[in-house]
Amino acid sequence: MSTRITGTSHLKSENVNVWFGERHVLKDVNITFPANQVTALIGPSGCGKSTFLRTLNRMHELIPGAGFAGKILLDGTDIYDPQMDPVNVRLNIGMVFQKPNPFPTMSIKDNVLSGLRLSGRKTDDASGLLESSLRRASIWNEVKDRLGDAALSLSGGQQQRLCIARALAMNPEVLLMDEPCSALDPGSTRRIEETIVELSESMTIVIVTHNMQQAQRVADETAFFLAEDGNPGGVVEFGNTEDVFNRPVDGRTNDYVNGHFG
């Protein structure tokens, strides 16, 4: 296993194990996500990438029957500590979902500011926050003249960038993205990838993707997950994206990144 860590350790998983009911789906996942870097999670369908991602901001525990063991450390603090309020965890660790899911009853503007309303937080400068969030998600120019329009009047790609803006408005330290481009056309995908690279200057990003080119374009680090038949999933290889794709240590990684299975 080739491991190269850049920057300070910011988010770290220690011996993460996950169950759904009696089923053990993830075993001993140890990953250190370097600060201000993009880490891609890749692997065949069903190996537990989304599940792992959801443990990183305590969304996992919302599923009935979900089990968890291990630690997730954010700047050294275990987010599963009984003293931790999961709401605070999620405010620090934002999430963008696979399918664009803007709130259908809200305008573009209200969607961006929805996190404030939902978490009962206030800001002195709502319009400043609105503009900066939309700019960071590279959608400001497209929507600045129609902020009051319904969010669903946007195209799928624009909706996804709106969802990114919505997450950014809470100013998270970490942003989790689960296949954020899988429902989008190549043009929108390209723009979101550029956004991801820009955002990584100010936050740590973890992205699940099935797109090998995308992983290579955006990710500094890559973790390859695999669940071999009947066994819980785990990390086979983790390291610098270049290395994982071009000089994989494990034969299974080599097979996967070259499209031999999965």
Partner 1 sequence: MSTSSEPTSHSPVRRTLKAKPFSRADRMFFGVARSASYFSVILIALILVFLFIRATPAFQSQGIGFIFGSNWNTSNPHHIVMQIGPMIWGSLLISVLGIILGVPMALSTAYFIEFMAGKTMARVATLVVDLLAAMPSVVIGLWGLVVFTPVASHWAELLHKALGFIPIFANTSGNFSASPFIAGWIVAVMIVPIITSISREIFSQMDRELINASLALGGSRSSTFFKVVLPTASGGVVGGVLLGLGRALGETVAIYFVLNLIFKVNWFNIIENQGGSVASMILSKFGEASDAEISGLMAAGLVLFVVTLVVNWIAAYIVNKAQPWRKL
Size of interface with ligand ATP, in residues (CB under 6 A): 11
Among 50, 195, 204, 222, binds Mg ion (CB under 5 A): 50
What, of Mg ion, partner 1, ligand ATP, none, does residue 166 touch, CB below 5 to 8 Å by kind?
partner 1
- 192, 155 Cβ separation under 8 angstroms: no
- Quick check: helix, strand or coil at residue 110? helix
What, of Mg ion, partner 1, ligand ATP, none, does residue 88 touch, CB below 5 to 8 Å by kind?
partner 1
Report the site for ligand ATP in 33-52 (rule: CB under 6 A): 43, 45-51
Q: Which residue is nearest to Mg ion (CB)?
A: 50
Q: Rule CB under 6 A: say whether 180 interacts with ligand ATP.
A: no
Q: Which of 160, 208, 205 is nearest to 184 (CA)?
A: 160
Phi, psi of 17 (to 5 degrees): -125, 145
- Quick check: helix, strand or coil at residue 25? strand
Closest contact distance (angstroms) between CB of 34 and partner 1 is 23
- Report strand pairing: 174-178 vs 93-96: parallel
What, of Mg ion, partner 1, ligand ATP, none, does residue 25 touch, CB below 5 to 8 Å by kind?
ligand ATP
For residues 126 to 165, the per-residue mask of contacts with partner 1, x marking binding by CB under 8 A and - elsewhere, is ------------------------x-xx---------x--
- Report strand pairing: 38-42 vs 221-226: parallel
Burial grade of 147 (CB within 10 A; 0-12, 13-18, 19 or more): middle
